[in-house]
Amino acid sequence: MSTARFTVSPLSLPSQSNLQKQNQNQNPPWIPTPQLLCKYPILRHLSSCKTLKDLTQIHAQTITTGIFSDNFVASRILSFAALSPHGSIPYARFLFYRIRKPDIFIANTLIRAYAFSPNPIDAVVFYSEMTESSVVFPDVHTFPLLLKACSEIPSLRLGEAIHSHVCKLGWSSEVSVSNFLVQMYASCGLIESAELVFDRTPECDGASWNIMIGGYLKCGVFESARRMFEAMPDRDVVSWSVMINGYVQESRFKEGLGLFQDMMEEKIEPNESVLVNTLSACAHLGAMEQGKWIERYMERKNVRLTVRLGTALIDMYSKCGSVERALEVFHKMKEKNVLAWSAMINGLAINGQGKDALNLFSQMEMQGAKPNEVTFIGILNACSHSKLVDEGCGFFHSMTSIYGLKPNAHHYCCMVDLYGRAGMLDQAQTVIKSMPFKPNSAIWGALLNACRIHGDTELGEQVGKRLLELEPNHGGRYVLLSNIYAACGRWDRVSELRRMMRERQVSKTPGCSFIDLGDTIHEFVAGDSSHPQLEMIYAKLGEMSQELKAAGYKPDTAQETALCHHSEKLAIAFGLIKTDPGTTIRITKNLRVCADCHSATKLISKIYNREIIVRDRCRFHHFRDGSCSCMDFW
């Protein structure tokens, strides 16, 4: 095994930060070594090669001069075609079959390109062609790539087949191979097999532990991941990033954020992926104070605002209800790609600034950025939340006619939502009928929500029943249907639904709200009795309901149970106690705001003279001076 990893190069000196390291450019793999350049000066053109056409010219010259028959030359040209963003894998393959005696190095380059392409299975296909015709013989570098491909697909069948080749050819005790076996089994959900390979690896290295931890997280075995993380010999920045990213990816945001704080306390410098994932956790939790802290940290450490970091910041600020800050980041970004534009468009959309979102879309086009499917989700969201029905239809049709994009289920869902919210329930149903695929539950859910908004009990009942058949274990569907019944006073149906939920043992997702007070995120669930400052909060709630009554508020009896103790009311009470008069209160909740809480919050904003920003499951509500930015339309 190579010992190069253990030599101390200037790049790994501890004085240099991870982020600075990442910002340093390393030569791409197709750039020849100085020795090779010395021998074949023509290859120096590879460093300025920008298109496939440039490459074909270099290729032609190497043929006419006869140097293409040197495999070192052929390998550099094939490497450009296979791995450069300006290359082409089919061209690389074409080159491969024109090399008289290809070696395993060249074959591995092509396998690598396939393994990281959108069709990783081609890596395995090429490998079997290559071995069947005995063109070249696999080596130790071949199997990690093949196993990576199997993890990407993911295909257990192929993975096991490759595993048997590994054993037959005697590579199974090689740590670089077994690491990928572990990853392959974990990606295919076979955590026990992954463990078995890990345990049998004679000499694990740092990566082995990280891969095993990542595997546990991917398979949802959090306790084992944490135990291993705490027990591992030397945790590096990647170990932390595997943990944090794993938690965030599995929607365990609070734990992810907690780990990030532990990491900071241990004075480990985060890399870009940790920052991106932590910001994503903040976005999900509505933890703006923590998100702001990360932005300040980046400024303090002179971290370059890459497209990914910029996009993550835009997303975080938009989802914490601060479009202004999101826009500031957006304008600060020197380099913007389609995802950055899309994040900003979506940010404006979910905060109810539909027109601004559409304006930004025109700017995006003027600057020559090409919208993709994600962009259109933002655009259609903008239209539906701002009741821009005609505009929305226009955009939906332009997707295919102008941009050549195929609308997927999300886009159709947006259309049902667009018509549905606007009260055009017939058109919403026409969209569902015209869809080229079977409507999923999200689409019926959008229609059901429209029935709730516009009080169409009859259609609501039909759609609701269909949804219950489709998703008998989804508590939220029962609640939505039962609210529709409650709104028109059909209490018999409400109790019938409750009985069904009991019988089927379906539980409601408990409503919970978060409030971020900078140092801690406080979580409240409906009827909470666990908070240490409980007495004070309930005293405040009592005062609030007195004030509300005096202002003419009548509780909305159309909804069910424990209304005055809904989690957002608890969080608002806590916010009123804990923050200075006049400051904005920001609440994030996991479900939609109920009608009663919505009207109560409007009044609270006026009585206490506070701006209250509530992010619910779907959108933002900016309550100010007795009214809400959603114009009672959500």
Partner DNA sequence: GTAGGGTTAG
- Please report, as residue ranges, which positions from 137 to 156 form the binding site for DNA (by CB under 7 A): 139-142, 144, 148
For 475-527, give the DSSP string: HHHHHHHHHHHHHTT-HHHHHHHHHHHHHTT--PPPPEEEEE-SS-EEEEETT
Alpha-carbon span 351 to 319, nearest angstrom: 8
Pairing between β-strand 585-589 and β-strand 612-615 as defined by DSSP bridges: parallel
22 binds DNA (CB under 7 A): yes
Using the minimum distance from each CB to DNA, give the nearer residue, 38 or 402: 38
Tokens encoding 572: 């608002």
104 binds DNA (CB under 7 A): yes
Q: How far is the CB of 367 from DNA (least distance, A)?
A: 16
Question: Based on the number of CB atoms within 10 Å of its own CB, is 592 exposed (0-12), middle (13-18) or buried (19 or more)?
Answer: buried
Distances (CA, A) of 532 to 215, 510, 528, 585: 37, 20, 11, 20
- Please report, as residue ranges, which positions from 423 to 482 form the binding site for DNA (by CB under 7 A): none
Q: What share of the chain is helix, strand, coil (3-state, %, to 5)?
A: 65, 5, 30
Using the minimum distance from each CB to DNA, give the nearer residue, 156 or 603: 156
Tokens encoding 429: 């149903």
105 binds DNA (CB under 7 A): yes
210 binds DNA (CB under 7 A): yes
Q: How far is the CB of 366 from DNA (least distance, A)?
A: 21
337 binds DNA (CB under 7 A): yes
20 binds DNA (CB under 7 A): no
| Entry field: residues in the chain | 634
Q: How far is the CB of 606 from DNA (least distance, A)?
A: 32
- Please report, as residue ranges, which positions from 233 to 262 form the binding site for DNA (by CB under 7 A): 236, 238-239, 241-242, 245, 249
> Can you tell me which of 87, 102, 159, 214 binds DNA, judged by CB under 7 A?
214
> Can you tell me which of 62, 155, 290, 311 binds DNA, judged by CB under 7 A?
311
211 binds DNA (CB under 7 A): yes
> Can you tell me which of 62, 75, 384, 449 binds DNA, judged by CB under 7 A?
75
> Can you tell me which of 73, 181, 191, 548 binds DNA, judged by CB under 7 A?
73
Alpha-carbon span 151 to 130, nearest angstrom: 21
Which of 233, 187, 189, 192 lies closest to 211, judged by CA? 187
Q: How far is the CB of 458 from DNA (least distance, A)?
A: 33
> Can you tell me which of 7, 24, 25, 35 binds DNA, judged by CB under 7 A?
35
- Please report, as residue ranges, which positions from 179 to 208 form the binding site for DNA (by CB under 7 A): 179, 183, 205-208
Q: Which helix (H) or strand (E) holds 587?
A: strand 585-589
44 binds DNA (CB under 7 A): no
Alpha-carbon span 443 to 423, nearest angstrom: 16
Using the minimum distance from each CB to DNA, give the nearer residue, 374 or 603: 374
84 binds DNA (CB under 7 A): no
> Can you tell me which of 17, 131, 273, 579 binds DNA, judged by CB under 7 A?
273
Which of 441, 364, 432 lies closest to 395, judged by CA? 364
Pairing between β-strand 585-589 and β-strand 512-516 as defined by DSSP bridges: antiparallel
- Cβ count near 278 (within 10 Å): 30
- Please report, as residue ranges, which positions from 532 to 551 form the binding site for DNA (by CB under 7 A): none
Q: Which range of residues in 89-97, 310-318, 464-472, 577-585 is near DNA by CB under 7 A?
A: 310-318
Alpha-carbon span 605 to 625, nearest angstrom: 6
Using the minimum distance from each CB to DNA, give the nearer residue, 315 or 417: 315
Q: Describe the crossing of helices 206-218 and 191-200 by its angle, rounded to 10 degrees.
A: 170
> Can you tell me which of 2, 48, 434, 529 binds DNA, judged by CB under 7 A?
2
- Sign, CA dihedral 577-578-583-588, equals negative
Instruction: Give me the 108-127 binding string for DNA, x by CB under 7 A, dash otherwise.
Output: xx------------------
Can you give the binding site for DNA, defined by CB under 7 A? 1-2, 5, 22, 29, 33, 35-36, 39, 70-73, 75-76, 103-105, 108-109, 139-142, 144, 148, 175-177, 179, 183, 205-211, 214, 236, 238-239, 241-242, 245, 249, 271-274, 276-277, 280, 283, 307-308, 311-312, 315, 337, 339-340, 342-343, 346, 373-374, 377, 410
